[in-house]
Structure 1
């Protein structure tokens, strides 16, 4: 599919803003980044920024959405097939390959936005109570393992962490009516 000139312009502006935010996060705490800093770094006007995003949080969510969508695109079919050990392996190898990005999004205040995003994307309001708690537990476990891995400077190989999560989360950990599975229908 060919993009129109307007669509290309929109995509370029959004990519410039995303790149600028990630660059700023390397040296500036999230809550200290201003729209002016962001737009100057991106080379776009404030009007362009507000045309695309209502807040820095919305822009950050879009960045992490693309990142986690890529993870699910590469390994999500293993979840549907019930091959969680392969999913965990794919996940931690992907994270290891993207260490710099992972450190950027999981350092400082923005780390809380990542956890909120993961909880929101796997909103489990429609599932059974026990399944809802199970999914939240898996999210929390995975999130905390990622944080610890970063803080320990990736001291374990990805497959060791994949084995750890496979052993901690056994059986039918992802209920068949999980919103996670809806991503692949």
Structure 2
């Protein structure tokens, strides 16, 4: 389905604002970046910024959504998905966009990223015991991802998969997934 011209323009402007924020994150602390600096760097008006975003955190979430949209489409097409395939796709997403994830981590905004990822990793409509187990497993993954980012991606995605697979996940119990390919 093709995007309308107005939608393309909107996405372009949002992308410019997000890119400007990440460019500024390379130079200064997140909390010290102002909306004025973001709009100046993006070469758009303050009104344009507030038309699309209420806060810098919302702008960060937009960028995370943008980065993960293609990944989510691939995941949906690959169902049922083995745990190893899920990890390979997910870690490749992070690795391919490591500069963004590194900046988020070092901007002390990993909470935004974790909240977003948990919401996508855990199926909230499942029985309570399974929900708690999945949430625990998701936090384990988030901890591994955080450490990987903190260590500046020293391990390859493949090496990290081997480490993660040492944990006894019950991936086949997750909706739409299988234990192995």
TM bracket (short chain) = 0.7 to 0.9
CA distance in 2 between partners of 1:44 and 1:122 (Å): 35
Q: Secondary structure at the match of 2:22?
A: helix
CA distance in 1 between partners of 2:168 and 2:26 (Å): 33
What residue is the counterpart of 2:50 in the other structure?
50
Distance change >3 Å, CA 122–CA 99, structure 1 → 2? closer
Listed as ranges, the gaps of 5+ residues in structure 2 are none
What residue is the counterpart of 2:106 in the other structure?
107
Cα RMSD for the two superposed structures: 2.4
CA distance in 2 between partners of 1:66 and 1:9 (Å): 15
TM-score by length of 1: 0.81
Q: Does 1:165 find its partner at 2:164?
A: yes
CA distance in 1 between partners of 2:54 and 2:121 (Å): 23
Q: CA deviation at 1:150?
A: 2.0
Q: CA deviation at 1:105?
A: 2.1
Contact 1:76 1:87 in 2 (8 A): no
Q: CA deviation at 1:70?
A: 2.8
Listed as ranges, the gaps of 5+ residues in structure 1 are none
Q: Deviations over 1:20-56 (max 9, x none)?
A: 1111122222222211111111111111111111211
Distance change >3 Å, CA 121–CA 75, structure 1 → 2? closer
Q: Secondary structure at the match of 2:9?
A: helix
Q: CA deviation at 1:97?
A: 2.6
Distance change >3 Å, CA 170–CA 126, structure 1 → 2? closer
Q: CA deviation at 1:174?
A: 4.8
Q: CA deviation at 1:123?
A: 6.0
TM-score by length of 2: 0.83
CA distance in 1 between partners of 2:71 and 2:5 (Å): 30
Q: Does 1:31 find its partner at 2:31?
A: yes
Q: Deviations over 1:46-77 (max 9, x none)?
A: 11111111211111111111222333333455
What residue is the counterpart of 2:134 in the other structure?
135
Distance change >3 Å, CA 86–CA 5, structure 1 → 2? closer
Indicate the larger mover: 160-169 or 12-21.
Answer: 160-169
